[in-house]
Amino acid sequence: MKDVDSVDKASEYVGMTVLQLRGKRSKSNLHIEDDFTGFALFDKVLGPIGIVEGIEEYPNQLLIKTRYLGTEVLIPAVEAFITEIDEAKRTIYLQLPEGLLDI
């Protein structure tokens, strides 16, 4: 999943669920029960994206709800896109595929 660098490759992961055992938190996994509301989102290329408004649960998919350039967007919460979660700084770092946030 680390070589996802296009929308076509990313579409292969749509619908996947991100799971993790409790107590073994990886830097790149989110859970619906975690409260990331208010965390800042930064993309490696785009820079600041927005603030997490919530984590939405859809069938087989967790999505990060935020506003980007004034428009509500949902970003798949998959390991391929999340490079780091810094809880001390309340920041989530992303590396999104090109075109994912084209509005």
Three-state SS letters, the chain: CCCCCCHHHHHCCCCCCCCCCCCCCCCCCCCCCCCCCCCEEEECCCEEEEECCEEEEECCEEEEEEEECCEEEEEECCCCCEEEEECCCCEEEECCCCCCCCC
pLDDT tens string 18-28: 444 333 344 44
What domains appear along the chain, each with residue ranges and CATH number?
7-94 (2.30.30.240)
Is the whole-model pTM more than 0.85? no
Checking if the pLDDT of 4 tops 90, the result is: no
